[in-house]
Amino acid sequence: MKLGNPSAPPAHPEAHLTRVTPALVATEAYWAALCPSLTVASTEAAAAAAPLPLSPAAAAALRAQVVSEGFAHASAAVLPWAGDSAGIAAAAVTLLQHGWPPSFVLVYDQTWALSRQASSLISAVCGAEAAPCGDTLCW
């Protein structure tokens, strides 16, 4: 997927950070309209954020890669992510175009679904004590 130009004019100039009120920004509707392919406070998205279904054998293989190489690589068949990473990246560009820091992509459910899955992956591969701290940014 080719991402848009973050410096391009926003698709909805009326939704730019400099043109909206704090009251509007505080609504789910504002964020949903800004990036309609993502959701805000959706119970369906929360349900889809189940931990990665990683078999003990796959976890052991990834753990062995981390021990020997310092990192691990796995196919999408082994790690079936629930989130749409391309959609999240496109949303970060949209936010930039509308004057928001890209880390505001964290307002969307899909980013937290990926975070939850990443947490389950890290715990399965590195041990339960290796849970991420939750300090998440995007840029």
- The pLDDT mean for the chain works out to 86
- What's the one-letter identity of residue 71? F
Would you call 113 helix, strand, or coil by DSSP? Answer: helix
pLDDT at 44 over 80: no
Q: What is the largest CA-CA distance in the chain?
A: 53
Q: In the chain, at which residue ranges do the beta strands (DSSP E only) sit?
A: none
pLDDT the model gives residue 139: 64
Q: What is the CA radius of gyration of the chain?
A: 17
pLDDT category at 120 given cuts 50, 70, 90 is: confident
Q: How many helices (H) and strands (E) does the chain have?
A: 6, 0
> Which among 3, 2, 12 is positioned nearest to 35, based on CA atoms?
12
Q: What is the DSSP string of 47-60?
A: HH-PPP---HHHHH
Side chain identity at 9, as an amino acid letter? Answer: P
Main-chain dihedrals φ then ψ at residue 7, nearest 5 degrees: -90, -5
> What residue ranges do the domains of the chain occupy?
13-126
Full-model pTM: 0.80
Report, as an integer, the average pLDDT of 54-80.
87
